[in-house]
Amino acid sequence: GNREHLAQWSDNPMMELMELDLLDKTALDGALKGCDEVYHLAANPEVNAKNASPEDHFRQNIEATYNLLEAMRRIGEQKFIAFTSSSTVYGEAETIPTREDYGPLVPISLYGASKLACEALLTAYASMYGFRTIIYRLANVVGPRSNHGVIYDFVHKLRDNPSELEVLGDGSQSKSYLFVDDCISGIMKGIERGNRVDIYNIGSWDRTNVLEIAETVKNEMGLKDAKIRLTGGVDGGRGWKGDVKIMQLDMEELKSIGWTPKYGSAEAVRLTSRSVIGG
Q: Which range marks the domain in which residue 42 is found? A: 3-278
Query: What CA–CA distance (Å, rounded) separates 133 from 79?
Result: 8
Nearby residues of 26 by Cβ (< 8 Å), 6 or more positions away = none
Instruction: Give which of 92, 76, 88, 96 is closest to 32, Cα–Cα.
Output: 76
Sign of CA dihedral 152, 153, 156, 159: negative
Query: What CA–CA distance (Å, rounded) separates 260 from 256?
Result: 9
Kindly state the percentage of the chain with pLDDT values over 90. 82
Per-residue pLDDT tens digits for 116-159 = 999 999 999 999 999 999 999 999 999 999 889 999 999 999 99
Provide the pLDDT confidence category of residue 177 given band limits of 50, 70 and 90: very high
Per-residue pLDDT tens digits for 47-98 = 876 667 899 999 999 999 999 999 999 998 889 999 999 999 999 999 999 9
User: What is residue 193's predicted lDDT score, i.e. its pLDDT?
Assistant: 86
Query: What CA–CA distance (Å, rounded) separates 265 from 177?
Result: 5
Q: Compute the CA torsion angle 196, 199, 204, 208 (nearest 10 deg).
A: 170
Longest dimension (CA), the chain: 60
Centroid of chain to Cα 127:
25
Do 155 and 217 meet the contact criterion of CB atoms below 8 Å apart? yes
Q: Give the total number of structural domains in the chain.
A: 1
Q: What is the CATH number of the domain that holds 236?
A: 3.40.50.720
Please tell me what DSSP assigns to residue 226: P
pTM: 0.95
User: What is residue 49's predicted lDDT score, i.e. its pLDDT?
Assistant: 65
Q: What is the DSSP code string of 88-131?
A: GGGBS-SSSSBPTT----B-SSHHHHHHHHHHHHHHHHHHHH--
3-state SS string for 148-200: CCHHHHHHHHHHHCCCEEEECCCCCCEECEEEHHHHHHHHHHHCCCCCCEEEE
Do 265 and 177 meet the contact criterion of CB atoms below 8 Å apart? yes
Provide the pLDDT confidence category of residue 269 given band limits of 50, 70 and 90: very high
Number of C-beta neighbours around residue 126 at 10 A: 21
